[in-house]
Every structure is written in structure tokens, then in C-alpha cells.
Amino acid sequence: MPIGRQSPQSHWLHDNKFDQIRNIRYRFNMNTSALPARTFAAFLFDMDGTILNSIEAAERAWAAWARKHGLDVEAFLPTIHGVRGIETISRLQLPGVDPYAEVREVLLAEMEDMGGVRAIAGASKFLASLPEDRWAIVTSSPRELAIRRLDAAGLPHPKNFITGEDVENGKPAPDCFLLAAQRLGQPIEDCLVFEDAPAGIRAAEAAGASVVVVTAAHERPIGTGHPSILSYEVLVAHRLAEGGLRLAPAA
């Protein structure tokens, strides 16, 4: 989940007035020619920044929390994306702070704010084209927040849903993607992960999955060698007779 600011740590935009500039920039920098030509058993999707954009709402909640604790908001916000809240807060090692209580406080604030949450272009149609037993959402978000955001964005609830509560170690550990493949009954090596954040990309790589990077919310490239797409409008998924899936650029 990306944000937009001048910090060198930041790779994302959250202000709609930049959408046109960003879309022009990335429409010329997409790497769809490198889309994997092989057949996959299943697709695994991160949620925030990958199939929906919740950056504005997430940053409002986390910025308020950071100010309460006297943190440098501009420096702090880039650290929240793609990882679980408990890990974000725990690594700060704030004296006298119960990370679990603080995570719950931020979660309640996020649950109340769905302003600006919207689907990545083409995501709804693309997901609807997939067999329900061949895809999963794999998110660091808690389940109740993930469901609220999916509903706000008008996206379907998956049959297979891995959230932050389902694993002991969050991204960039590979646990979540390994669990998703296990629940789908497919080898992780035959799964394709759609991700946007560095932590998620590292998790997919560590799991042994192939990766496509979704750049819809990126302000600038994040320096991976994986194929990238601006939105799902540029993709189609072909279902093969034997049950596998193949990606192709949209006509």
C-alpha cells in the first residue's frame, strides 16, 4: 500500500489530482511484455494497493496514532505498508506501550474510515473471471478490516481468504503465501502472486512463487525485476481445459 510524499522511502501516491500524470507515466513503463507465459495452478492476490486502494483511509488512521505518540509522521507512514500492524508498532519499541492494545485502537479507527477506498481499475472483472477454487486473497490486514474494505470497493469476498491473524509471521515472511497455496491444494511453485509492496514481494519470492507487481498506486518504480501492470484492464486470464490459468495482455 503506497503513499506519496518527497521522502526517499516513499513510493506511492494518495492524492487523486496526480492520477492522470501517474497513469500516463506508467502506461509507458509497464512491463506486460514480460508476463510469464507458463500455466499456473492458482493466483494469489495481496489486497491493499493490489486489488484496491485504501491508502488515504489507512494513512489518516495511522497518522493520528503517530501524532498521539510523538512520532515523525512523514518518516513513519512509509513503514506501515504491506505489513501487519502488530509488527509496525512492535518494532518501534515504545516505552510503556502495549502493541496489541494499540493495534486494536488503530484498527477501530480504520474500520470507521472507508473514505477513498476504491477498487483498482479492472480488478472486479478480472477476479470474477477466475474459478473460485483457483484464487485467494492474502493480506496483512485483519479479517474484519479486510471485509469492510472489500465491501467499500465493491469487490467479491474470496472463497479462500488468508489474513494477518492466520499466520504467526507476517510479510516479508513467506508463511501467508505458503498457507494460501496449501489451502488451495496447489504447489506454491505453481502459484502467481500479485503484489504491490516490497514486503509482500519479498514474501512471495521467499515462498517460491512467481510475481507480478501492480503499480496502480506507485509514484515511482520500486526496483524489482518482476513484470508489472498498471491495472487489471491490461490483462486477461485464460482458463485451460485441464484447470490451469494463463495470463495474456488484453487486446
Instruction: Considering the candidates 15, 19, 48, 166, report the single residue annotated as catalytic.
Output: 48
Asked if residues 160 and 139 have their Cβ atoms less than 8 Å apart, the reply is no
- The answer to whether the Cα torsion of 8, 13, 14, 17 is positive or negative is positive
Query: Rounded to whole angstroms, how far apart are CA atoms 216 and 209?
Result: 21
19 part of the active site:
no
Instruction: Considering the candidates 19, 46, 113, 196, report the single residue annotated as catalytic.
Output: 46
Asked if residues 5 and 74 have their Cβ atoms less than 8 Å apart, the reply is yes
Q: What are phi and psi of 41, to 5 degrees?
A: -80, -30
46 part of the active site:
yes
Asked if residues 186 and 180 have their Cβ atoms less than 8 Å apart, the reply is no
Q: How do strand 118-119 and strand 52-53 relate by DSSP bridges?
A: antiparallel
What residues contact residue 142 under an 8 Å CB cut-off, 6+ apart? 85, 107, 163, 164, 165
Query: Rounded to whole angstroms, how far apart are CA atoms 242 and 189?
Result: 18
Q: What are phi and psi of 137, to 5 degrees?
A: -100, 135
Catalytic residues: 46, 48
